[in-house]
Amino acid sequence: MNIINFILIFIVPLIIICLIILRFYLAPKITMFDDDKRVKNFRSMDKVFPSKVIHRPVKPYNFQENLRDLNISYNFQDETRRMADFLQRTGNTGFLIVKNDIIVYEKYSLGYKKSDKKTSWSVAKGFISALIGIAVNEGYIESINDPITKYMPELKVSGYNNVPIKHILQMSSGINFSEAYEDKSSDINELLYKLFLYMRPMEKVILNYSAKRASGEYFEYVSLNTQILGLLLRRVTGEDIVSYLEKKLWQPMGAESDAYWLTDMYGTEVTFCGMNCTLRDYAKFGLVYLHNGYFNGKQIIPKSWVKESIIPDSSYLQPGATDEMYFRWGYQYHWWIPEGSNGDYCATGAWGQYIYINPEKNFVGVKTGSSNSILRSIDDLETVVLFRAIANELDES
């Protein structure tokens, strides 16, 4: 075989295959957060990553609506600001307010529509917490004080050996894992490379991390903790996350639309960030918590679990005790408690995703976005100030 034939038969097809892989598999992942692609990607993550569908029920719960204009003013950092300006400045894509179980405000921006499935980022962690509570109630997990290795003995070789499930829920596992999103060599970024560039299975990747301190002593936000909890759920229930969520949460709460959850290359859910659904269904999940686990005529999550999930029970988890990186918010079972809380709490995700719950005001707020910063920022504080201002305005009107 001469060199020309060799090139035509072997080299050219290889180059074509490599270009196809780069164009259709690698490029969407590498450029996912680029400024000119982020808005589109955040409503079509199933085009970037593998995913599984969470099916809606035959008879969804239908919201009542009483829509009104809510361009209110509020005070932040000694300034009077307006809601519309803040939403535009922070790259808001969807904003939904529910008062007394009625939608009173709903607006979509930057090309988003009501039917779009918006990605949640770390708001997904709240769903995993809910499923843990359901699994405990159903007897799959005897106690959250049990060590994780009682159910997942393979973790004995890792820093999770003998760590109580409760400490993992509270982000106090002591695991040696860097959540520095801006550092391309951090553990959180390396984890994504391992899963989607090197195509390693999730179950193998999680064994690589040691402990850097004893658990139950210090709050450190680590997404790996939520991934461990997701794998725990798969192990004890014998079901995929999407199947268990669909049966125990999605259909009972009357979701309006199918949702989907992102997976690794082998079908294992990426549980620290993989939920994608409409704002209305994020709001229904918020209403389940607002009503102490009871919604759509059913006790979906145990009331005791909801109560336990949102009241920090250790000194280092109290509002004001966590370090400045997290704006001194409190934390419990994957839910944030802002400073100055009068019972309000929230799930938050990078780039401006929120479910905010205010039981005193019978109020749920949902926000999705594609802001310019992945980091927790001053925008997190301002978002809570805005939600509180809206809740107060509606309470008085």
**Mind listing the pLDDT tens digit for each residue in 275-285?**
999 999 999 99
Using the structure block, give the residue that is written with the tokens 């199933």: 46
Among the CATH numbers 3.40.710.10, 3.40.50.1820, 3.20.20.70, 1.20.140.10, which is that of 45-396?
3.40.710.10
The predicted structure's pLDDT at residue 26: 58
- Condensed to tens digits (0 to 9), the pLDDT of residues 174-207 reads 999 999 887 888 999 899 889 988 889 999 999 9
The predicted structure's pLDDT at residue 9: 54
Give the list of residues 6+ apart from residue 374 with CB closer than 8 angstroms, or none.
33, 181, 182, 350, 351
The predicted structure's pLDDT at residue 71: 84
* Domain range summary for the chain, segments of one domain joined by +: 3-41, 45-396
Answer whether residue 335 shows pLDDT above 80: yes
User: Whole-prediction pTM value?
Assistant: 0.93
The predicted structure's pLDDT at residue 33: 78
Q: What percent of the chain has pLDDT over 90?
A: 80
Give the chain's mean pLDDT: 91
For the chain, the residue count is 397
Where would I find the H helices in the chain?
Answer: 3-6, 12-21, 27-30, 38-41, 83-89, 124-137, 165-169, 187-196, 202-205, 223-237, 241-245, 279-290, 303-309, 378-396
- Condensed to tens digits (0 to 9), the pLDDT of residues 29-82 reads 677 778 888 999 999 999 999 999 999 999 999 999 999 999 899 999 999 999
- Condensed to tens digits (0 to 9), the pLDDT of residues 126-152 reads 999 999 999 999 999 999 999 999 999
Answer whether residue 223 shows pLDDT above 50: yes
- Condensed to tens digits (0 to 9), the pLDDT of residues 337-392 reads 999 999 999 999 999 999 999 999 999 999 999 887 665 677 889 999 999 999 99
Answer whether residue 20 shows pLDDT above 50: no
Tell me the DSSP string of 156-186.
GGSTTTT-BHHHHHTT---B-----TT-TTS
Answer whether residue 286 shows pLDDT above 70: yes
- Condensed to tens digits (0 to 9), the pLDDT of residues 313-334 reads 999 999 988 776 667 899 999 9
The predicted structure's pLDDT at residue 247: 98
What would the mean pLDDT of 285-307 be, rounded to a whole number? 98
The predicted structure's pLDDT at residue 21: 46
* CA–CA dist 211, 175 (Å, integer): 4
Answer whether residue 22 shows pLDDT above 50: no
- Condensed to tens digits (0 to 9), the pLDDT of residues 146-184 reads 999 999 999 999 999 999 999 999 999 999 999 988 788
The predicted structure's pLDDT at residue 137: 98
Q: How far is CA 79 from the centre of its chain?
A: 31
